[in-house]
Amino acid sequence: MTRSAIETVVFPVAGLGTRFLPATKASPKEMLPIVDKPLIQYAVEEAIAAGARTLVFVTGRTKRALEDHFDMAYELETELAQRGKQDLLDTVRGVLPEGIHCVYVRQREALGLGHAVLCARPLVGDKPFGVILADDLIEAGDRPVMMQLAERYAATGRSVISVEAVEPSRTQHYGVVDIEAESGERFHSVRGIVEKPAPEDAPSNLAVVGRYILTPRIFQLLETTAPDHRGEIQLTDAIASLIDEQGVDCLEFEGTHYDCGSKLGYLRATVDYALNHPELGADFAAFLRDREVSA
Ligand code: G1P
What are the pLDDT digits (tens) for 102-118?
Answer: 999 999 888 999 999 99
What are the pLDDT digits (tens) for 57-94?
Answer: 999 877 789 999 998 888 999 999 999 999 999 998 88
What are the pLDDT digits (tens) for 210-219?
Answer: 999 999 999 9
Name all domains of the chain by residue range, CATH numbers in brackets. 8-261 (3.90.550.10)
Is residue 2 scored above 50 in pLDDT? no
Output the CA 73–ligand 1 centroid distance in Å: 33
What are the pLDDT digits (tens) for 20-53?
Answer: 999 988 889 999 999 999 999 999 999 999 999 9
Residues 177 and 193: beta-carbon distance below 8 Å:
yes
Output the CA 36–ligand 1 centroid distance in Å: 26
Output the CA 292–ligand 1 centroid distance in Å: 35
Comparison of pLDDT for 148 and 181, the residue scoring more: 148
User: What integer best gives the mean pLDDT of the chain?
Assistant: 93
Q: How confident is the model at residue 3 (pLDDT cuts 50, 70, 90)?
A: low
Ligand 1 site, residue 208, Cβ cutoff 6 A: yes
Ligand 1 site, residue 210, Cβ cutoff 6 A: yes
* Residue whose CA lies nearest to ligand 1 atom number 11: 210
- Which range is least confidently modeled, 43-47, 93-97, 170-174? 93-97
Ligand 1 site, residue 162, Cβ cutoff 6 A: no
Q: DSSP readout, 137-151?
A: EEE-TTS-HHHHHHH
